[in-house]
Amino acid sequence: MALIEKKQMWTRFRSITNKNLSGKPICCGICGQEISYGEDGIEYVKTKRGTEIFVHRDCIKKWG
């Protein structure tokens, strides 16, 4: 699992929400809770399968 730089992460977040015409919120890939732009304690990670997800740092800890 690779962590992505903060600045890059929020740029990515914005581009995803802009493209998201259905208005579907971005949620934590682990607990499923909605994530808001600029929120503290958020990480953007790339899983082994190559999927990029937003997650809470606390959730990563719980996840292992």
Check residue 61 and report its DSSP letter: H
Shortest gap between Cβ of 41 and Zn ion (angstroms)? Answer: 9
**Dihedral, 51, 55, 60, 63 alpha carbons, nearest 10:** -70
Residue 1 or 31 having the CB closest to Zn ion: 31
- 56 contacts Zn ion (rule: CB under 5 A): yes
Residue 17 or 60 having the CB closest to Zn ion: 60
User: Within positions 16 to 35, which residues make up the interface with Zn ion, using CB under 5 A?
Assistant: 28, 30-31
